[in-house]
Structures are given as structure tokens and as C-alpha cells.
Structure 1
Amino acid sequence: MKVSDKLRQALASEKPFFSFEYFPPKTEQGLANLYDRIERMARLGPVFVAVTWGAGGATAQRTLELCSACQGVFGVETVMHLTCTNMDKKMVDSALEGAKAAGIQNILALRGDTPRGEEYWTACEGGFSYAVDLVRYIRSEYGDYFCIGVAGYPEGHTENPDSEKDFEYFKAKVEAGADFVVSQLAYDADVFVQWERKCRANGIMVPIVPGVLPIQSYQSFRRLAFLTRVSVPEELRERLEEAKTNDQAVKDLGVEHAVTMVQSLQAAGIYGVHITTLNLENSVQRVLAALEMGAGGLLSPVARQATSAGSVVTAAAAAAGGGTGVAEGVAQRRVWDDFPNGRWGDARSPAFGNIDTYGAMLRFDPQGARRVWGRPKQLSDISDLFVGYVEGRIPSLPWSDEPLRAETQRLVTELTRINQLGYWTVASQPALDGVPSTDATHGWGPRGGYVYQKAFVECFVPRDLFGLFLSRLQSAAPRITYYAANKQGDFMTNAFSNNSESENASAATALTWGVFPGRAVVQPTLIDKMSFLAWRAEAFQTWREWATMFPADSPESRFLTATADECWLVNVVDNDYKRPDAIWNMF
């Protein structure tokens, strides 16, 4: 069924409704666990679910696989995102034919991020430059078979400073044949309401659904707000600053704000919301429970109790009556949902890698990249860039959008030294031995607990340094654990006991753990082969993106490409957190 028809039916009823958005996980175990999660969440009764599409088709196969399962197995009307940047007509046709074969009739047509920025990027030969081109193409080639949605930007697109011009572009997308609109996420209900009224006043009468994202962690909120540049009410920003060291308090605030926002939208006559889940479950269920939405409009009493604030049991598990297996699964889901699921979270989590769900993509255009990162032509230029970043003279790196966090500031001396030596650091943390969970710099989790962590450093190592560095790491085992990989896919580690990769492929090293009142030991930060290799692909993709900030035949582009081909990404963990300085002797 076309989503536009379902939306019109829902809007005509003037009853609250919702939809969910997921992204393809980076790992096979994450995907398997997401299937379980979607099955449970489907029972809440979303009008539709949507699945994102990686830039340039990076997640094409997994996106289609996930859409097929949602549509055919779980029986939920599914919208497949489709970006057209760096996609020629053959790739677009392949995606559309695959969707059609899977019974998917709904497409969200997007431009996607330009992989090179404005200066050197051009559309693929026979490809598309803007989302309006994709909408027109789908209409011309497939007639009315597909229901086409487009994105709306209540505050204008980040790449277009002229909001009125941006609105004209948006209206052109709708007039080209769009059937419905999903807006960029918003934190201010009034901003969306005013924009929705502007759309209606300008003759845009298709269904428009506002995007809502319950805040899951302070850092992910900061990053998303930075990338999307959406308005954040000052009161919300202040409260998040106050709560930022208490993960549970941030999640509670995120639920509270999402509930308030949906209520404000409903009061203005806007009854539907599109919830960006980030593949997380608990906060979404808590929002719906507080609004008494779901499962046909109202959650059952047992489901409402199960999803109340602070509870960890899902509605589906509560309705099933629990049991040992369910309880264990629920406990694991709580860990996945309660703590950050970024690069070094549990790779089995459906939300693993959710900090940037659309893959490696630089946030500068070429001119901005050259201004901030210079024109590197030799290894010393790279070292100087990293040293400048660590010392605070350069605001970002291709791998880091923001300056060093407070926790890393205590490592500036050591990081400066090893970057000067040619080890280019992209991640690190100091060792901690029982720091209060309320500590303003290092604390996390509920109050009344203590947190621990092992020192680790991750860096790119040029070929000339790698051999000696590797022998030094090997000689320091078992205290030192390392993972190393290059762009070509070669992999080394000493983390497997008995050197048996087949028997220990799932072995993981806990980097961070916490002990809290009334809870088991929590390990939100892990490093294992699966998570490391998932990140490796993204890390080396960033080298390629950086190289495209320069003309293809330029000395800078050739140098960056060659450097990426020859260096190794190495993660070094010091397992003795009682002696925090020993890791630096490895460099």
C-alpha cells in the first residue's frame, strides 16, 4: 500500500500516529539483533518504517535486505531511502527494481551528501545532481507505481544560506511528483508548525510528517545538532549541559522533551511524527507509553508498565510473560540502549556505530578543507596537522569534527610527543581506577557508582615506522593488546588466546566499565575484531574523501592517496589500568 494513502487515512482520523526510521547496522550480529528489535517494535503499530541509504549506495545491499524483511517478514509498510549523489541511472534502476521485486512501493528520494563538496564534485555521467532530478526520473520511468517521499527542511538546508531560495527548491521537489514529505528532525515544535503552515499557504498539500529524535546521549546530541544546525531551545540546551555527566538523566530528559514536543505538535493539529530511532528501543517505547500511543492507539496496561520511565522490559517481552531467556535478552538490550553505541560500543548492538549513520563524509567543502588542514605533500605536513589539532591550534581533523574533549586534554603532552614522532592519533583515553560516576570530566552512568577504564591509543602508523612498532607491541604482550589493519584488508592482532583466530574471533577487550548500585558490572566500551574492522573501512574511506578535496592529479591528492595505501591503523590497549603511564613507552 502506498504510504501517502495510509498517511491521509491517519490524518483524516485526527488520531495520533507515528512511524520509525532505522539504519543498516555495520555488523552481521548487529543486523540479526536489529531484526529482533524491529519485530518487537512493529507490534506497536507504526504507520510505516523507513530504512536509510548510505551515500553513493554504500549500504545498498543491506538497505534492500532490511527493507525486504520489514515489508515481507514483519508486515510493516516500508519506505526505502534512496540517495542519488554519486549514483548513475543504472545504479538507481537496480535499486528501484530490487525494491519493486521485494514488494516495496515507497521511496524517499534524497540527494544525499556530495562526496567532494561543491568545488570538484560533479554528478556521475548519466546521473543526478539534485533530489528533484531523482523524483522526476522515478515518475518518468515508473509512472505511479512508486509512492515518492521527499525531505523537508523547516530551517533550510545547511548548504543553502538563502532560506527562501531553499524553500523554492523544496516546493519544486513536491511539484515534480512527490506524494509525501518527511521533515528533518526538529527540537522546537514552533519552528516546525510555522514551516508547515507556510507550506500549506504556498499550495503544498501533500502529507507532511515532522521528524523527532529522542535524545539518547549528550555527545550524539551535540554531534547531530552540529551537523544539522537545527534550532535548540535554550532551556533544553541548559538542562542538557547540567545533566551531561549522567547518561540516565540525559536519556530521561530526551524522553521528556520528545513527549512535550509531540504534545505541542498535537495541540497545533499535527498528529503524526516520524521517530528517528537510531536503532534504539527503550527511549522510543517510553515516549510512546507516556503519550499512550501504540498498538492501535493505546498501549495495554502491561505494556505501559513495561515501558514506563526507568523500566527495561519491552512491551513484547512483558506481554510474553518474561522467562529466563527473555530476561537475559532484556538485560542485554538495556546495556545496548543505556550507553553510547558509537565506535567502541558492543558490535552486537543494532545501534553500533550510530554516531554517524551515513558513513565517512567530510563536513568541509574543498576550500574550507584547504583553509583548515592545509595542502599536505609530505609526512611531516601530516604530523604538523595532528600536533596542531592536539594543541588546540587547529579546530578539527578529517576524523574528528570537534576539538579535543576535556578527558583527552590531560593527555596533550603525550599525544603531542607521539604525533611529532609520526604516530597520527585519532582516538585515545587515559586509564581510570575507580573514579566517581559523577566526576565532571570522566564520569558516566547513574549516580553513586564508580567507573574504570584502560588506557588506549589508536593511530595511523606510516609504513616506515610500522615494523619496529609492531615488534615492540608484540614483545609487551600480554599486558599490551593491539589490533592492526591496513587499507588492503590485512589484519594482525595478539588478542586471540593460543593464536587461534577461529576459536577466539569473538573475543573482546573491555576498555571501559562501571559499577553502580543495584546493577551488574556494565561494559559499554569494547574492542574486538568485528568492531575494529567495521571502523577500519570508515577510517580509510576518510583518507579518500580528504584526497578528493584536491584536483585528481594534484600533488596533494596523489600524496594523500599514497599515504593511505601504505599506512596501518593500529589500536593499542594497556590492560594494566593501575599503571597508567606505561602505554606511552610503546611509542
Structure 2
Amino acid sequence: MKITQKLQQAQEDSSAPATFSFEFFTPKTSQGVQNLYDRMDRMYDLNPLFIDITWNAGGRLGTLTTEMVNVTTTVLGLETCMHLTCTSMKLETINQALDSAFDCGCQNILALRGDAPLDGSEFTGVFHYAKDLIRHIKSRYGDHFCIGVAGYPEGHPEERDVDKNIQYLKQKQDAGGDFIVTQMLYDVDLFIDWCKKCRVAGITIPIIPGIMPISTYDGFIRRAKWCEIHLPDHFLKRLEPIKDDDSMVREEGAKLVAEMCEMLLESGYIKHLHFYTMNLEKSCVMVLRHLGLVSKQQLVGMDTKPWRRSLNPNRSLESVRPIFWQNRKFSYIERTSNWDEFPNGRWGDSRSPAFGSIELSGHQLIRHTREKALSLWGFPTGIKAITDLTVKYLSGDINCLPWSDSKISHEIDPIKSDLLDLNRRGVLTVNCQPSINCCPSSNKVHGWGPGNGYVYQKQYLEFLIPTAKLDSLVQEINAINNEAEYHVLTYYAIDEDGDFDSNAKSASTINAVTWGCFPGKGVAQPTIVEKISFIAWKDEFFSILRKWTSLFKNDDDLKRDQATTFVDSLINEFTLVNIVDNDYVNQPNTRIFNVLKKLFPLKE
């Protein structure tokens, strides 16, 4: 959705709280990119109206920006605005960036001239001013993009005359600019006076102030000098006495910036705040907490599923997902990008090319660099080492595992103690969900979908056990099913070679493990278990393990060899199993665990 449309929706209710957004810049390293995605993922829960990503003009000529915009839009479901500069840019590069944004569903561009060449030479490239870039975007794409422009309330480094800058801003509006994002500010009086002048000059588009949180005193002073903005005396009086204590500066700075934001919002000119995060999180969150803006309901127009909704138009009709990729959203989106069903909003046709070789998908099996992966997961040399690692993950001590991108959520709380117990018994758990019977769709942990509905889940558990134990597990499952006189427990089991076993009625059986009932909308069944996707997931899971062994390069050859030998044994001697308990009403969340605890007694 366009930013101006979102602003209008959010402001239709005069009693609604202010909205806010975040700016991020492109990191210099691949691990920095992955870490930033994790941070964006967390900050999604703060419900920003949108984010924007700066243009990486050097090195890769902005391709990192377009790649990140694609990920934030398609995978993370964040409304994204892409910065685009035109200084020294070839027309082909500009068009490629715009085409990429268009294709992934991004509808917002912040059109910028860009910084002058550092060597003092003349500007090159096809466009010399932001207004020229705006006209080009309009001529090529019509009204598809909502175009933001930069505003300078305290003057531009190349033009200190504020009135002249307002004239230039009016020209950008007249060329097609739809909203203004300003340079950072701390002086509210100067800013409000500038807003008044803009309105008198005929500038009518929304004005969004740039807010720079204060993390350290030196950083605060340095950025203010670099941007040549005025620092009010009360900022200096409150920060100078504590300038050597970063913690106190951050806390007092959050109060000062929040007070400034309150004055901006009370002025009547401002309804939205744009935070320059500097790719940091805590300072922004502290300001938002002071303003009381971080615990509000989800934004208007966000229809929800049990997963993060993609904003890519090619996936807008997606209504069903296999549960196996529940914790692998990056992998799942990339792996399924060419599945035939999405244009029709369907899933499940085994004729799809999605079920080809894992090598064809091209995604990263492990998202971290070797150094980061080793610091997180070390060198597991036995089943206890790897289940201890899973215990740390389930306990929140680490945020990811090789097969799980995301931090553990509170959704597992009803079964957390049993999961911990199973891993201590030597059962490596991979994925799970508890049974839920008639939970309000508004529930903050388990709820999803439209309001006034009810959601349901079957208990599901995926795990890795020694292949030698599989027959005993199947016997226990059969005994329970015979007593119940129906398949209360259904399972799939497969090893790395593809040897498959199941008690599902047929290969085409699709078992909905999550569903919801909503007034006037019938029943939605968004999360499923079925054979074809389980086989596809098996390929990926064992490929992840193989990729993991490739990272075991260390001066300590013995440690490397032991870890490689052990992970190879997981690949060659273990079987991947999932079990669904189809009785989500009676004896919920205990039956699957009881079966496995019987087979894997605790060792003294």
C-alpha cells in the first residue's frame, strides 16, 4: 500500500495514536545484513507504518538495497520505501532498481538527488536533481509509486537559505512528490516555523519529521554538527553533566526526544514520526515507550494468518502453507517462489516444479557466516551436545538453530517443559505446535485472522530419532490407534535416502493442523501436513546438516573430525519423523510426549 494511503487511514480516527516508521541503512557485510533482518523481524512487532532502506550507492551500485527491499516486502511482510538517488547514476541502473521494486510489490520510493561527489567534481548521470528523477518515475510508472522527497527545515549544506529550499521543495511536490521526510531535528520551534512557511508556499503534501534517537553524547553532538542543525540549550544542559555515562545519556536522551515528539504532535502539523534507527533498536524502543506507542493493535488493513503475510503481489493469494517451514520463512519464500499454485491462491499440486531438487532453489541453507555459526552452535560431538543446544534454544539462551531462523515464541509455552524433557532424553525436536481448542482469534499468542473468531490447532511434533528406534515407535502408535479405533496419531517418517513410512490413508492425504472459524467468512485451514511437501522438507533438512559440517574448519582437527563424524551419523543413521495428534479436545498435548518418553527413558 502507498504510504500516503496508510497515513490517511491511520489519521481518519482523530483519537487514534500517532504512527511511526523506521529507517535502516545497508550494512557492509553479509553477516550484518542477516543480523539486520533479525532486528527488522523483531521491530515488526512494534507495528511501524512502514520502513525505508537507504540507497547503497557504492560498491554494488545499489543492488543490495533492491535485494533488501525484496526481502523486507516478500519475506518479512514490512511495508517498505526504497531510497533511490540519481547522482552519477546511469539510466539503466535507475530503471533496474525501479523495476525490481515494482516486481516485488514495493509501492514507495524516496527520490533523492544524492550527495555531491567527494572530489568536488561535477555531477554526472542522466538526472541532476531529485525533481528530474521524480518526473522520470512518473513518466515510466504513472501513479504506481508513492514518491517521497527530502525536506531541509534548517537549510541544506549547499544552500543555507531556508526560503530558497522551500521553493525547491515546492518544485519537487509539483513534479509529483507525495510526501516529505525531513532531515533530523531537535529544535521544535524552528521546525514548526518551517512547516508554517511550507503551507504558505503552497506545499500541501504530508510532512514527516526525521527523528534521531540519542544513544551516546559524542554521537549526538557529531551528527548534529554534520547535519548543521541547531541544538536547543535544554538538550545540552540535561546531557552534558552525564555525557560520560552512556546508559544515563541514552535514558535521558529518550526522555528529551519523546518530549520533542510530543510537542511536534501537539502542533497540529505532524501526525507521523520517522525514526533514523542507525540500525539500532533499543534507543528507538525507549522513545516509543515514553510516547506510549509500542503496545497498540495491529495496523488497519493487516489481515493476518498464522504466518507473516507477504506483501509481494505474486503471493497475495497464498492461503495455505505446509507447517514444515514454520521456522524457515526465508527458505520457504525462496524455495516456493516459482510454485505454480500461488497465482490461483492454491497449494498442493505435486506436479509443481517446487518439488524438484533442493539445489534448484538457490537459497541459503544456513544464513550465518561460518564464524557466526560456530560462535552460536560450536562443534557438537554427540547427541547430548546437540540436544543441549536445542535446550538452550527452547530456553531462549540462543535465538536460532541451523534449521530454525527465528527466536522461540511463547506459542510453545503449553508444551515447553515436555520439549525440554524430550531433548534431555536424546530426542532432537525440530518443529512443534501445541493443541488449541476454540481460542479467541484476538488472543495475543495463539490468535490470528479476523476478530470475533475462534482458532484451533492439532498438536504437531517433528523430531529426529535413531532409525533403529522407528519400528518400536510405529508399534506404540499402532497400539494407541487400535485402542482408539481410528488414527488418532498420524505420522510420516523418512530417512536421508528417501525410505518413507506413514499410516496416512493415501499419498494425497492432506491434514489441516491449524484452522479458524470467523463470522461471515466460514472456515480457513491455512497450515497443513502432507506427504509431498514433507519429502521436499526432508531434502532441505538433511542438506542443512551437510552444510553445517562444511563449516567445521578449525585448527583443532580432532574437534572438527569428531563434529563432522557425529553430524554425518545424524544424516546416515537417524530418521526424520512428524506426528500429528488428531484429537485436539481430549487429552491434549500429552499423548505424543508419552509415547516418546516410554521409548526414551531418562538416563541417570
TM-score, length-normalised on structure 1? 0.50
- Residue 70 of structure 1: aligned partner: 72
State how far apart, in whole Å, the 1-side matches of 2:394 and 2:277 are.
27
Q: 1:326 aligns with which of 373, 377, 396?
A: 396
Q: Is the 8 A contact 1:57 1:83 kept in 2?
A: no
Report 1 or 2 for greater relative contact order, CA contacts < 8 Å, sequence distance ≥ 6: 1
CA distance in 2, matches of 1:242, 1:503: 48
Partner of 1:280: 280
Query: 2:88 pairs with 76, 86, 89, which one?
Result: 86
Aligned Cα root-mean-square deviation (Å): 2.6
Sort the Cα spacing of 1:101 and 1:274 in 2 relative to 1 into closer, same or farther, 3 A: same
Q: Cα distance 1:136–1:246, how it changes in 2: closer, same or farther (>3 A)?
A: same
2:38 aligns with: 36
Larger radius of gyration: 2
**Partner SS state of residue 190, structure 1:** helix
Answering whether residue 123 of structure 2 is matched by residue 122 of structure 1, we say yes
Is the aligned partner of 1:213 residue 2:283? no
Determine if the alignment matches structure 1 residue 259 to structure 2 residue 280. Answer: no
CA distance in 2 between partners of 1:294 and 1:278 (Å): 19
- Give the C-alpha shift of residue 105 in structure 1: 1.1
Is contact 1:56-1:83 (8 Å) kept?
Answer: no
Q: Are the equivalent residues in 2 in contact too, given 1:8–1:207 (CA < 8 A)? A: no
Q: Which of 81, 87, 106 is 1:104 aligned to?
A: 106
Separation in 2, partners of 1:8, 1:106: 15
Sort the Cα spacing of 1:222 and 1:209 in 2 relative to 1 into closer, same or farther, 3 A.
same
Mapping for residues 99-178 of structure 1, pairs under 5 Å: 99-116=101-118, 119-124=120-125, 127-178=126-177
**Amino acid corresponding to residue 396 of structure 2 in structure 1:** V
For the Cα contact (< 8 Å) 1:57–1:87, is it kept in 2? no
Question: How far off its partner does 1:219 sit?
Answer: 2.4
| 1:96 counterpart letter in structure 2 | L
Alpha-carbon distance in 1 for matches of 2:13, 2:281: 27
Preserved contact between residue 152 and residue 162 of structure 2 (Cα < 8 Å): no
User: CA 1:28 to 1:211, structure 2 compared with 1: closer, same or farther past 3 Å?
Assistant: same
8 Å CA contact 1:187–1:261 kept in 2: the answer is yes
For 1:152 and 1:108, the matched residues in 2 are separated by: 11
Contact 2:56-2:63 at 8 Å conserved across structures = no
- Secondary structure, counterpart of 1:79 in structure 2: strand
Q: Structure 1 vs Structure 2: percent identity of aligned residues?
A: 43
- On the 8 A contact 2:86/2:114 being kept in 1, the answer is yes
Secondary structure in 2 aligned to 1:214?
Answer: coil
Q: CA 1:298/1:45 → structure 2, altered by over 3 Å: closer, same or farther?
A: closer
Aligned to 2:338: none
For 2:7, the equivalent position in structure 1 comes to: 7
Q: Deviations along 1:77-107, whole A, 9 cap, x unmatched?
A: 1000001111021110011011111111110
User: What are the superposed Cα offsets for residues 214-242 of structure 1, whole Å, 9 maximum, x if unpaired?
Assistant: 11122222221121011111121233322
What is the CA-CA distance between 1:57 and the residue it aligns to?
A: 7.2
1:504 positional shift: 7.2
SS in 2 for 1:34: helix
The one-letter amino acid of 2:554's match is E
Q: Is the 8 A contact 1:156 1:167 kept in 2?
A: no
- Counterpart CA distance in 2 for 1:176 and 1:504 is 61
| CA distance 1:188–1:501, change in 2 (3 Å) | farther
Question: 1:279-335 CA deviation, whole Å, 9 max, x = no partner?
Answer: 111121121122111343699xxxxxxxxxxxxxxxxxxxxxx976534559xxxxx
Separation in structure 1 between the aligned mates of residue 117 and residue 170 of structure 2, nearest angstrom = 25
Question: For 1:55-83, what per-residue CA distance to the aligned partner results, in whole angstroms no more than 9, with x for missing partners?
Answer: 35756122112211211112121000001
Aligned pairs for 1:302-313 (under 5 A) are none
Separation (CA, whole Å) in 1 of partners of 2:47 and 2:91: 35
* Counterparts of residues 461-480 of structure 1 (less than 5 Å): none
1:164–1:328 CA distance, 2 compared to 1 (3 A): same
Distance 1:26-1:502 versus aligned 2 partners, 3 A rule: farther
SS at match of 1:211: strand
Q: What is residue 503 of structure 1 aligned with on the other side?
A: 554
- 1:21/1:68 Cα in 2 relative to 1: closer, same or farther (>3 Å)? same
Amino acid at match of 1:99: A
Paired letter, 1:78: T
Q: Distance in 2 between matches of 1:108 and 1:233?
A: 29
CA distance in 2: counterparts of 1:177 and 1:121, whole angstroms: 26
Do the aligned partners of residues 245 and 147 (structure 1) sit closer, same or farther apart at CA in structure 2, a change above 3 Å counting? same
1:294 matched to 2:281? no
Whether 1:200 aligns to 2:202 is no
Q: How much has 1:53 moved relative to structure 2? A: 0.7
> d(CA) in 2 for partners of 1:294 and 1:504?
47
For 1:32-59, what per-residue CA distance to the aligned partner results, in whole angstroms no more than 9, with x for missing partners? Answer: 1111111111111111100011235756
Cα distance in 1, alignment partners of residues 56 and 23 from structure 2: 14
Distance 1:113 1:131, change over 3 A: same
Q: What residue in structure 1 maps to residue 512 of structure 2?
A: none
Worse overlay, 246-255 or 78-87: 246-255
Cα deviation for residue 206 of structure 1 reads 1.1
Aligned partner of residue 12 in structure 2, secondary structure: helix
Distance across 2 between alignment mates of 1:28 and 1:103: 24
Structure 2 unaligned regions, length at least 5 = 300-391, 401-550, 557-604
Is there any run of 5+ residues in structure 1 with no aligned partner, and where? 300-321, 331-499, 506-587
Distance 2:208 2:293 in 1: 16
- The two structures have a TM-score, normalised by structure 2, of 0.49
Q: How far apart in 2 are the matches of 1:273 and 1:504?
A: 51
